[in-house]
């Protein structure tokens, strides 16, 4: 008896794909699978040499209605199918007996029910899926064929149930053969049917762990076992996750081998050792109980080696040569004071058309010192900031940083410390690039913060002034990351710095001074503001609240954050709703009037008692609310604002018509409303920008 | 396996794979890719199978013969096959077996390394081949040369001979390698390493070489105009070497650097363009 449902298995066999290509490729395979069959259970596997898609439980066929001519044109006068209808049936390989009537958009048609074989559909779709796969970088290898892939495809396996599907791609036809690990498995492994478990077992028996996650887990467990020999408390957080991901994408059958190096290399800074091991060799460092580096490394080899002595010895030899190089750089670099390298910065272009690093240094010194002063740093720290700014970029021309750009800042700090610069300077040099990545901390010291901020603001000013501002999703110079760094430092260190003024200082430091400085400053400030909104939204604050608060000014970032936090806690409360009502009622009617709120409200004979009362409440209680705001007690300020103004405002609107004919009278009323509006919206939030739930917003 | 046996083994292996064995080019080059046997043969539609040893000079890497791993001049074994065979990885791996590298005892790996030479207007995708963590070969599918898209796509294999020899002989200092029985690499090469390092780091007349570069460049461009592709390309190589010397001497600023490279690239591109023209138009091999 034939089975009702079958599985589908596709394996694209390649030469070694780069590890970073695997995840995105599987993502695309899964998306393709959803298009193919939204209901089938899709699984994917990947190794450097294969991308696999498996779909479970597909029906053997499906039925599809095909519409022919409309019914009135498909029948003859006797009500039988006419020639046109019969032609339609034959064209689809069917008889007149197969024709039926079906409705489409309320109209009757002559129609056929076709049986679509899943195998046929799959064969076609699989070929297209392969051709459609995109990679960060792809290549050609077929003569006269523009087909591109991450690396050459060398075999295709495609099964539906136990049947090979006629799939063609990249000049190959699919078969039922797969390959195991190179050197260790026999050639031409036959896969009898599209069973995921069986397929994985066949591969495992031939030294391929096809599931990336499984491979990663196995490597992680193996690494932990080894790490715990030195430090029993070692956990997954001690393993570089990026490196783990990469290494898992470099092997099909991981085998962990432990190696060692000479103790003398431990006198190099730990970051240097870790970087050399990671960047050059993809080794994992080993730490001791006390957190210091051990003279050991762990490597992940590819294969079920029965003997590992040679592999260990040879890897150790390679690492020794690499470390000897690093040691050479370290000694050479140390022999030359950082300050002596300033001249070399003249020859190092910051970016084409944006001057040299020496130019940048000249701007960084006053800019960062200015920020340090604003942070109320004591004189000694301001001096450290200036010194650090002067030396900030000198490590870029050291041999070590030329070799390992990742170590910029880190080396500056290490060299500074050993060359007798103050500890404050050394730390600031190291902190200037923080945060590099999302998981990095922000600088802790004032000189570090000042330098980190100045460096980023200067970069933004320079790039924007040269017209290299990001557009849409493209940001080739990584300026969003720079602005994001500014935001994180300000937010996480709770610095009350006026961003607009800092931008102004950065822009006015540029030489020659850029054109249209005003517009430039606005652009940069808006750019940083956008990052800020994104950052706060990332912390879970709703967009409408962020916008409402920033409409009242966001230069004092910690103040803005605390306003957002307070108001967000009040969300749904009667007080906030009432305050929003006051804001909205005082805003709507005066919106177009072009008032500043500084105009004077005048009493007079035409003033209604309700208006006079409102003005009196404003005069008597307005100041008290302002004081609460100044103190930062936004909760109390909000509820007071609501309590003080709700009733008098309500009375006012009940009794007074604002839009009267008399210009002066109308304007006078608007002035009063504007003043009441500004008490709150000027320095807390423009609550009219908040989205309230339906029915929540009841205007009394 | 001594150094010369290593070379002979590779020569024999690749001769067996149908490669034409040619001799090293007699001008200074930084890599085997720069030799005309690679630069020109990868251009155009004609099939190619060729292999050769190429001494490669990298003035900035000179260490006065004192560093056990860095050399002013090293040797590459270069294989160019166009179009790249379907099973080229296997063919390559079999060559390692010939050298006595048993893949069941060593960790052989293809690690992503996309290659690019802005000087030649060349780029390709491929790997560095690792043997127990040591990079022993650069394996590249060329996509572009002289700024031209390549079709058919050639494969380039560049074996680092000193590294492989050190691996095979278990030696940690390149100068301790055995070139032939009883003759060390140091005895053969150490004095050259010292003298060329001194020359490139201390003696290169940094003030005059920019002018030398300019004269070579002019000569090259004039030869392109004259339709003499091989002599023109020689001058591109001379320019490239003068630039390398200036760079080693520390006489090239970062901005000048890009400028020099662009000038060599322009010349190389001119040569490639000329070469690709049909013979009756005054270009092409043996035209």
DSSP state of A280: I
CB contact under 8 A, B132 and A311: yes
Chosen from A16, A48, A252, A405 to mutate, greatest number of chain B CBs within 10 A: A16
**Averaged pLDDT score across all residues of chain A:** 91
Chain B, nearest residue to A138 by Cα: B125
Angle between helix A118-132 and A19-36 (nearest 10) = 150
pLDDT value for A514: 80
For residue A27, with 0-12 CB atoms within 10 Å meaning exposed, 13-18 middle and 19 or more buried, which class applies? exposed
> Hey, which residues does B15 pair with through a beta bridge?
none
Asked which of A414-423, A509-518, B33-42, B97-106 is least confident by mean pLDDT, the reply is: A509-518
According to the model, what pLDDT value does residue A699 have? 47
Residue in B83, B89, B93 closest to A143 by CB: B83
Count of beta carbons in the 10 Å neighbourhood of residue A72: 10
Q: Quickly state the pLDDT bin for A524 (edges 50, 70, 90).
A: very high
- So what's the pLDDT on residue B279? 62
HSE at residue B139, side-chain half, CA atoms within 13 A, is 23
How confident is residue A596, by pLDDT bands cut at 50, 70 and 90? Answer: confident
Overall size of chain B counted in residues: 287
Average of per-residue pLDDT across B164-190: 96
Beta carbons of A310 and B69 less than 8 Å apart: no
Instruction: Say whether the peptide bond before residue A400 is cis (omega within 30 degrees of 0).
Output: no
DSSP A282: -
Q: How far is it, in rounded angstroms, from Cα B48 to Cα A90?
A: 54
- Residues on chain B bordering chain A, Cβ-to-Cβ distance under 8 angstroms: 67-69, 83-84, 86, 89, 93, 103-112, 114, 124-125, 127, 131-134, 141, 143, 151-153, 167, 172, 253-255
Q: Environment class of residue A307 by beta-carbon count within 10 Å: exposed (0-12), middle (13-18) or buried (19+)?
A: exposed
Quote the CA–CA distance of A487 and A162 in Å, as a whole number.
Answer: 58
Over chain B, what is the mean pLDDT?
94
CB B94 within 8 A of CB B74: no
List, as own/partner pairs, every contact residues B279-286 make where C-beta atoms lie below 8 angstroms and the sequence separation is at least 24, other chains included.
Answer: B282/B227, B283/B227, B283/B229, B285/B40
Query: What are the tokens at A600?
Result: 């004077």
DSSP string, B124-162: EEEEEEEETTEEEEEEEEEEEETTEEPSSPPEEEEEEHH
Chain B touched by A317 (CB under 8 Å)? yes
| Nearest residue to A376 via CA among A505, A495, A509 | A495
pLDDT, residue B284, reads 45
For the stretch A607-620, pLDDT in tens is 888 888 888 999 88
Q: At what angle do helices A543-550 and A557-570 cross, to 10 degrees?
A: 130
CA distance A344 to chain B (A): 9
Residue B72, sorted as left (phi over 0), alpha (psi -120 to 50) or beta, turns out to be alpha
**β-sheet bridge partners, residue A8:** A55, A160
* Separation CA B185–CA A162 (nearest Å): 60
First-residue to last-residue Cα distance in chain B:
42
Answer with the residue of higher pLDDT: B237 or A666: B237
**A296-309 pLDDT, tens per residue?**
999 999 999 999 99
Q: Which tokens in the block code for residue B229? A: 């592709």
Residue position matching structure tokens 């932990």 = A224
Decide if A419 contacts A337 (C-beta within 8 A). Answer: yes
Kindly state the DSSP code that residue A690 receives in the 8-state scheme.
P
Residues in chain B with CB shorter than 8 Å from the CB of A16 are 109-112, 127
Q: Which helix (H) or strand (E) holds B183?
A: strand B183-184
Nearest to A184 among B83, B93, B104 (CB): B104
Q: Give the β-pairing of B20-21 and B48-57.
A: parallel
Find the range with the poorest average confidence among A5-14, A346-355, B87-96.
Answer: A346-355
Rounded to whole angstroms, how far apart are CA atoms A277 and A398? Answer: 20
Q: What is the pTM of this model?
A: 0.80
Query: pLDDT per residue over B47-76, tens digit each?
Result: 999 999 999 999 999 999 998 989 999 999
Chain A partners within 8 Å of B48 (Cβ): none
- Residues A482-488, mean pLDDT to the nearest whole number: 93
Q: Provide, as residue numbers in chain B, all residues whose Cβ is less than 8 Å from the Cβ of A305.
A: 104-105, 107
Residue A693 has pLDDT above 70, yes or no: no
Per the model's pLDDT, the better-predicted residue between A13 and A91 turns out to be A13
Q: How far apart are CA A388 and CA A367, in angstroms?
A: 12
B172 vs A contacts (CB less than 8 Å): 317, 320-321
Contact B105 A305 (CB under 8 A): yes
A309 touches chain B (CB under 8 A): no
Percent of chain A with pLDDT over 90: 63
| For range B133-147, the mean pLDDT | 96
A559, A568 contact by CB (below 8 A): no
Q: Which residues contact B147 (CB under 8 A, 6 or more apart)?
A: B121, B265, B269, B272
Pair of tokens at residue A560: 């803005």
Q: Is A302 on the interface with B (CB under 8 A)?
A: yes
**Virtual torsion, Cα A188, A189, A195, A196, nearest 10 deg:** -100
How far, in Å, CA of A189 to CA of A203, rounded? Answer: 9
A380: contact with B, CB 8 A cutoff: no
Gap between the Cα atoms of A459 and A343, Å rounded: 21
Q: What is the pLDDT of residue B106?
A: 97
State the average pLDDT over residues A630-643.
Answer: 91
Q: In the predicted model, is pLDDT for residue A694 greater than 60?
A: no
Smallest CA–CA distance, residue A145 to chain B, in Å, is 9
Asked if residues A156 and A13 have their Cβ atoms less than 8 Å apart, the reply is yes
The confidence score (pLDDT) of residue A557 equals: 80
- In the predicted model, is pLDDT for residue A669 greater than 90? no
Contact present, A41 and A54 (Cβ < 8 Å): no
Burial grade of A426 (CB within 10 A; 0-12, 13-18, 19 or more): buried
Average pLDDT over residues B155-182: 96
Q: Is A333 helix (H, G, I), strand (E, B) or coil?
A: helix
Q: Is the confidence at residue B281, as pLDDT, over 60?
A: no
CA geometry: angle at A538 spanning A533 and A540, to 5°? 100
Q: Find the residue in B nearest to A348 (Cα).
A: B254
pLDDT tens digits, one per residue of B191-226: 999 999 999 999 999 889 999 999 999 999 999 999
Nearest-Cα distance to chain B for A273, in Å, is: 16
**pLDDT for residue B259:** 86
Report whether pLDDT(A585) > 70: yes
Are B141 and A144 in contact (CB < 8 Å)?
no
- A212, A216, A218, A219: CA torsion to nearest 10: 130
């Amino acid at each position: 008896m034939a089975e009702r449902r079958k599985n589908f298995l596709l394996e694209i066999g390649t030469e070694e794909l780069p590890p970073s290509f695997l995840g995105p490729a599987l993502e695309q395979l899964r998306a393709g699978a959803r298009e193919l069959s939204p209901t089938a259970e899709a699984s994917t596997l990947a190794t450097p040499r294969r991308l696999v898609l498996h779909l479970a439980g597909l029906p053997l066929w499906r039925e599809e209605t095909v519409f022919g001519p409309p019914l009135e044109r498909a029948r003859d006068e006797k009500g039988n199918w006419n020639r046109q209808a019969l032609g339609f049936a034959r064209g689809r390989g069917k008889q007149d007996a197969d024709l039926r009537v079906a409705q489409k958009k309320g109209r009757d048609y002559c129609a056929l029910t076709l049986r679509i074989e899943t195998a046929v559909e799959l064969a076609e779709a699989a070929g297209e899926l392969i051709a459609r796969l995109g990679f960060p970088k792809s290549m050609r290898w077929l003569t006269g064929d523009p087909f591109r892939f991450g690396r050459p495809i060398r075999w295709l396996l495609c099964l539906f149930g136990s049947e090979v599907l006629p799939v063609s791609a990249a000049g190959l036809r699919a078969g039922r053969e797969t390959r195991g690990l190179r050197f260790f498995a026999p050639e031409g492994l036959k896969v009898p049917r599209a069973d995921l478990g069986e397929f994985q077992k066949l591969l495992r028996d031939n030294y391929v762990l096809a599931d990336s996650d499984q491979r990663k887990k196995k490597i992680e467990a193996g690494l932990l076992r080894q790490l715990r020999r030195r430090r029993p408390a070692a956990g997954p957080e001690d393993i570089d996750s990026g490196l783990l991901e990469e290494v898992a994408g470099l092997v099909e059958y991981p085998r962990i081998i432990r190696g060692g190096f000479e103790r003398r290399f431990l006198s190099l800074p730990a970051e240097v050792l870790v970087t050399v091991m990671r960047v050059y060799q993809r080794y994992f460092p080993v730490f001791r109980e006390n957190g210091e580096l051990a003279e050991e490394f762990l490597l992940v080899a590819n294969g079920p080696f029965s003997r590992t002595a040679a592999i260990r010895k040879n890897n150790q030899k390679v690492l020794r040569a690499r470390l000897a190089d690093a040691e050479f750089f370290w000694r050479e670099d140390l022999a030359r004071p950082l300050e002596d390298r300033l001249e070399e910065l003249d020859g190092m272009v910051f970016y084409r058309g944006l001057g040299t690093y020496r130019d940048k240094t000249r701007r960084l010194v006053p800019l960062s010192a200015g920020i340090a002063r604003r942070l109320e740093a004591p004189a000694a720290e301001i001096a450290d900031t200036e010194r650090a700014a002067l030396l900030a970029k000198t490590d870029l021309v050291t041999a070590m940083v030329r070799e390992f750009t990742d170590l910029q800042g880190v080396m500056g700090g290490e060299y500074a410390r050993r060359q007798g610069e103050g500890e404050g300077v050394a730390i600031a040099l190291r902190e200037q690039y923080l945060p590099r990545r999302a998981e990095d901390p922000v600088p802790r010291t004032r000189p570090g913060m000042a330098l980190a901020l100045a460096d980023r603001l200067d970069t933004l000013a320079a790039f924007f002034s040269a017209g290299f501002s990001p557009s849409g999703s493209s940001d080739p110079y990584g300026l969003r990351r720079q602005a994001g760094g500014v935001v994180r430092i300000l937010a996480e260190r709770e610095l009350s710095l006026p961003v607009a003024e800092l931008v102004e200082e950065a822009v006015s430091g540029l030489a020659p001074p850029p054109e249209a400085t005003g517009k430039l400053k606005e652009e940069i400030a808006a750019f940083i503001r956008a990052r800020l909104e994104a950052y706060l939204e990332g912390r879970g604050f709703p967009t409408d609240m962020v916008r409402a608060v920033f409409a009242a000014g966001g230069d004092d970032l910690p103040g803005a954050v605390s306003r957002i936090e307070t108001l967000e806690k009040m969300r749904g409360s009667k007080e906030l709703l009432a305050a929003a009502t006051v804001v909205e009622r005082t805003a709507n009617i005066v919106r177009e009037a072009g008032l500043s709120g500084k105009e004077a409200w005048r009493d007079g004979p035409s003033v209604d008692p309700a208006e006079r009362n409102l003005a009196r409440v404003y005069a008597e209680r307005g100041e008290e609310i302002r004081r609460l705001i100044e103190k930062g007690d936004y909760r109390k300020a909000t509820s007071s604002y609501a309590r003080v103004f709700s009733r008098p405002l309500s009375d006012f609107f009940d009794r007074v018509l604002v839009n009267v004919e008399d210009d002066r009278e109308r304007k006078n009323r608007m002035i009063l409303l504007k003043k009441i509006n500004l008490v709150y919206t000027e320095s807390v939030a423009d609550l009219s920008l908040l989205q309230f739930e339906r029915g929540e917003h009841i205007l009394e | 396996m001594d150094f010369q046996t290593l070379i002979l083994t590779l020569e024999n292996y690749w001769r067996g794979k149908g490669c034409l064995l040619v001799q090293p080019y007699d001008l200074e080059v930084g890599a085997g890719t720069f030799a005309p046997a690679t630069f020109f043969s990868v251009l155009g539609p004609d099939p190619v199978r060729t292999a050769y040893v190429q001494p490669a000079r990298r003035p900035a890497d000179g260490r006065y013969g004192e560093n056990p791993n860095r050399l002013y001049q090293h040797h590459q074994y270069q294989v160019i096959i166009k179009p790249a065979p379907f099973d080229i990885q296997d063919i390559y791996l079999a060559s390692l077996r010939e050298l006595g590298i048993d893949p069941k005892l060593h960790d052989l790996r293809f690690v992503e390394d996309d290659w690019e030479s802005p000087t030649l207007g060349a780029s390709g995708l491929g790997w560095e081949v690792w043997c127990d963590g040591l990079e022993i070969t650069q394996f590249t599918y060329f996509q572009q040369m002289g700024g031209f898209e390549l079709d058919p796509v050639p494969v380039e294999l560049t074996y680092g001979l000193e590294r492989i020899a050190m691996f095979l002989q278990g030696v940690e200092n390149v100068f301790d390698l055995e070139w032939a029985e009883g003759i060390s690499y140091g005895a053969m090469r150490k004095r050259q390493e010292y003298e060329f390092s001194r020359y490139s780091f201390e003696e290169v007349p940094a003030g005059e070489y920019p002018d030398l570069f300019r004269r070579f460049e002019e000569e090259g461009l004039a030869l392109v105009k004259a339709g003499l592709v091989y002599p023109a390309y020689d001058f591109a190589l001379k320019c490239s070497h003068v630039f390398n010397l200036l760079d080693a001497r520390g006489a090239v600023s970062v901005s000048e650097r890009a400028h020099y490279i662009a000038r060599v690239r322009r010349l190389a591109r001119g040569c490639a363009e000329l070469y690709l023209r049909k013979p009756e138009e005054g270009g092409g091999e043996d035209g």
